[in-house]
Amino acid sequence: MNVQLNTEPLSSWIDTGGKPLIIAGPCSAETEEQYLETARAIAKEGYAHILRAGVWKPRTRPGSFEGVGEPALPWLQKAKEETGLPTSCEVATPQHVELALKYGVDALWVGARTTVNPFNVQDLADSLKGVDVPVFIKNPVNPDLALWVGAFERIAGAGITKLGAIHRGFSNAQEAKYRNSPMWQIAVEFKSIFPDIPMIGDPSHMAGKRAYLAELTQRAMDLNYDGLIIESHRNPDEAWSDAAQQLTPDALGEMLKGIEFRNETY
């Protein structure tokens, strides 16, 4: 497969000083205090280039926390004002796109449960026409490279040129070591189709557990990934979503110090 998309290199839209791009923040924005405290601590640690937050949460089953929604968006604005770091959140519908842009969210990502659905992705693409915003697209939950490629074609078709891929692994039918199996080969194949699209590793959603974050992060860096998106919460055990896989901002800093980044330590 050979697909040409009009994209801008990562370094032209975010300055990481040559280091891998680090996107960090809680799985979900829960309360103003939780979000701002976490964002401040991440900024103080100094490793992050973009803050993340789940504002609308795609939960597999109903009955768990589904995100604060629009009321959380001013917290992201405040976090940006205080820390100077750009913000990002997941968008799954045109209404999410409209609201995120209205409140000045700097970068958007398409979640794994959205990438699987071409209707959904096309709706997002249509809502992004005429907008200049970076968009990261997670791999679909199932190991179908063509769906991932198709999502890029649809979003790029809307004129988005600041594009990034997020490799978050693939769901398992049976209990497995990792919550989502990395199947690294799929990301390698993606890279052969789209060599110019930066690849961002998401060890948090691959791992499902804190204990596996470092090994998955190291593997992504050994494969020359362009960056990482990692969940960090001021009090992970109390998190309203993905408690087992989040690290405190401080522990995330320690973890990153132990990783060899392209033969350098962070």
Cα 37 from chain centroid? 20
Give kind and range of the element (H or E) at residue 110: strand 107-110
Task: Specify the residue for token string 């691959």.
Answer: 206
128: Cβ contacts below 8 Å, ≥ 6 apart: 97, 135, 155, 158, 159, 160
> Taking CB within 5 to 8 Å according to partner kind, which of Mn ion, ligand PEP, none is near residue 138?
ligand PEP
> For ligand PEP, what does the binding mask look like between residues 12 and 51, x meaning CB under 6 A?
---------------x------------------------
Residue closest to Mn ion when measured from CB atoms: 27
The yes or no reply on residue 138 touching ligand PEP (CB under 6 A) is yes
Give kind and range of the element (H or E) at residue 186: helix 184-193
Q: Tell me which of 10, 23, 27, 51 binds Mn ion, using CB under 5 A.
A: 27
Q: Tell me which of 30, 90, 123, 242 binds Mn ion, using CB under 5 A.
A: 242
Q: Tell me which of 20, 111, 227, 249 binds ligand PEP, using CB under 6 A.
A: 111
The yes or no reply on residue 58 touching ligand PEP (CB under 6 A) is yes
> Taking CB within 5 to 8 Å according to partner kind, which of Mn ion, ligand PEP, none is near residue 179?
none
How far is the C-alpha of 76 from the C-alpha of 73, rounded, in Å?
5
Of 51, 132, 137, the residue nearest 92 (C-alpha): 137
Which spans of this chain sit near ligand PEP (rule: CB under 6 A)? Answer: 27, 54, 58, 90, 111-113, 138, 168, 205
